Amino acid sequence: MATPISLRNIGKTYPGAAQATIAGLNLDIAGGEFLVFVGPSGCGKSTLLRMIAGLEDISAGELRFGEQVVNTLEPAERGAAMVFQSYALYPHMTVAENLGFGLKMAGANKAEQEAAVKQVAETLQITPLLERKPKALSGGQRQRVAIGRAIVRKPKVFLFDEPLSNLDANLRVQMRVELGRLHQELGTTMVYVTHDQVEAMTLGQRIAVFNAGRIEQVGTPLELYHRPANLFVAEFLGSPRMNLLPCRYVAGTASGNGQAQLRVAQAGGWAVPDSAAPAAWQRIRKAGVRPEDLRLQPAGQGVAARVTLVEQLGDSTVVYAHVDGCDNDLALRMAGSLAGVAAGQVVGLGCEGQRLVGFDEQGRALQAAAGAAT
C-alpha cells in the first residue's frame, strides 16, 4: 500500500536568518499520488523537498510518512529515495555498482544485489550499460541510472529535484513520458519539484504552486489553470500567460442601456447578464482571461483593441493586441492559421463568461461567472 505524506505547520529557519524560509506550511499528499511542487527560483520548493528527504532539518512542525513521524529519522530510515538535478552518480563506480550501492549499504548480500540490479536495469532498458562508468553515458542514460538507483531500494516515497532540467528539449519530453509510465507501474507516492510549468501540468495529478515559502494553491492542473486562486497562480501557469484587464462591474441599473457590464479600462466592456454575475463581482478590479478563451470580433463589438503582432505557429495563431488602459498587450490564441488579420487593425474582443476569472484589489480570485460575456 502506498505511503501518504502529511506536513503539519512545517517551518524552516536557517541559523542567523532574519526570517523563516518556510513557515506554518500544511499539506497532505495521498498515498500513490504524483504531486508537483512548482514555483519561481527561491520560493522554497526545493527546501521543502529536502526537508521531506531528510537532507535539511525541520525547524518546526511535524512530518509524517503514513502514521510515522519522521522528523528525526535519517533519509534512508524514512524510506525515501531521491533523484537529483545533476544525477549525482558515483563517478568511480560502474552503473551496476551505482544501482546496487543503496542495497549494499542496507546489508543485502551479493546475490540479492545482483538480482535487484538486473530487474531494474531491464525495466529501464539500461542492461547494456551496466559495466560502463557514468562518464561514458549520455545525459538521458545517466538520468535513467539515477532513477534506477532510486527504484532499486523499493522506497516508500520518490522525490525528484528538477531531474529533467539538464536535458535537451526532445529528451525532456521523452523522459516525461517515461516518468509518467513509471508512476503508473510502481504506484508509489512521488513528489516532483520543477520550475517548468509544462512539466508540472503534464506530470502532476495535483500541483502545489509555491511563492516565497508559502503554498499559493493546490489543485489539479486544470483547476489551477482555469480557476487560479490569485494573480500569482494566474500569471505563473500558462504560456502565453493569462491576460489581465483592469475592469469594474457596472450593474444593469447603473449602466446607460440597462444591461450589466464589465467595463474594461477605457476600451469598452462586456455585457454580462445580471443573473450570471455573482455578488462578489462588485469587488472586481481585474478580469483574467486565457488566450484561448478570447475571440476576435468585428470592431465596435466587445472590448476595443488594436492588433500589434500576429504569430503564425502552424498549428495555431497567436494575435497580440493593445487595449487602452492595459499595461501589456493581450494575447489571443486560435487554432490553425488565421488570415485576414494584420498588425494595426482595430478589432473587438469577446470571451466566454464562465472562463473569465475576476480578481479583487488584493489579487484574490472571485467566484466564477455563470453566463457569457459579450
Partner 1 sequence: MPSSRTAAASPARTTAVRQVRRVTARFAAYGALALGAFVMLLPFYYMMVFASHTNTEILAVPPPSWFGSHTLANLADLLERRPRFWHSMGLSLWIAVAVTGLNLFFCSLAGYAFAMFEFAGKEKLFGFIMATMLLPAFVSMIPTVLLMSQLGWINESRALIVPGACGAVGIFMMRQYIGSAIPRELVEAARMDGCTEFSIYWRVVLPLLGPVLGTLALVTFIGSYNNFIGALLVMRDQDAYTLPLVLRSLQGTSGITWGALSIGAAITVLPLLVLFVAYSRRLIDGLTAGAVKG
Closest CB to partner 1 among residues 100, 288 = 100
CB of 355 to partner 1, least distance (A): 43
Least spacing, CB of residue 94 vs partner 1, in Å: 13
Which value, to the nearest 10 degrees, does the dihedral of the CA atoms of residues 35, 88, 122, 164 take? 50
Minimum distance from residue 88 beta carbon to partner 1 (Å): 4
Cβ proximity to partner 1, 146 vs 272, nearer residue: 146
| Nearest residue (CB) to partner 1, 101 versus 281 | 101
Please give the grid coordinates belonging to residue 370: 455563470
| Residues 6 or more apart whose Cβ sits within 8 Å of residue 184 | none
Cβ nearer to partner 1, comparing 84 with 341: 84
110-123 and 139-151 are packed helices; what angle lies between their axes, rounded to 10 degrees? 130
**Residues with Cβ within 8 Å of residue 371, at least 6 apart in sequence:** 272, 273, 275, 276, 277, 353, 354
Half-sphere exposure of 162 (CA within 13 A, CB side): 16
The three-state secondary structure class of 334 is strand
Nearer to partner 1, 86 or 337 (CB): 86
Shortest gap between Cβ of 144 and partner 1 (angstroms)?
Answer: 15
Rounded Cα distance between 135 and 42, Å, is 31
Q: How far is the CB of 75 from partner 1 (least distance, A)?
A: 5
Q: Tell me the closest approach of the beta carbon of residue 90 to partner 1, in angstroms.
A: 6
User: Given 3-state DSSP classes, what are the helix, strand and coil percentages for the chain, each rounded to the nearest 5?
Assistant: 30, 30, 40
CB 242 within 8 A of CB 319: no
Residues within the interface to partner 1 (CB under 8 A):
53-55, 74-76, 80-82, 84-86, 88-92, 101-102, 105-106, 149, 153
Q: Which residues pair with 49 in a beta bridge?
A: none
Nearer to partner 1, 54 or 302 (CB): 54
Please, what is the minimum distance in Å from the beta carbon of residue 100 to partner 1?
10
- Three-class SS state of 98: helix
Which 3 state secondary structure label does DSSP give 60?
A: strand
Nearer CB in complex with partner 1: 143/230: 143
Strands (E), 68-126: 68-69, 80-83
> What minimum distance in Å lies between the beta carbon of 63 and partner 1?
16
Q: What is the DSSP string of 68-107?
A: EE-TTS-HHHHTEEEE-TT----TTS-HHHHHHHHHHHTT
Q: Which is nearer to partner 1, 10 or 150 (CB)?
A: 150
Q: Which three cell numbers stand for residue 117?
A: 540490479
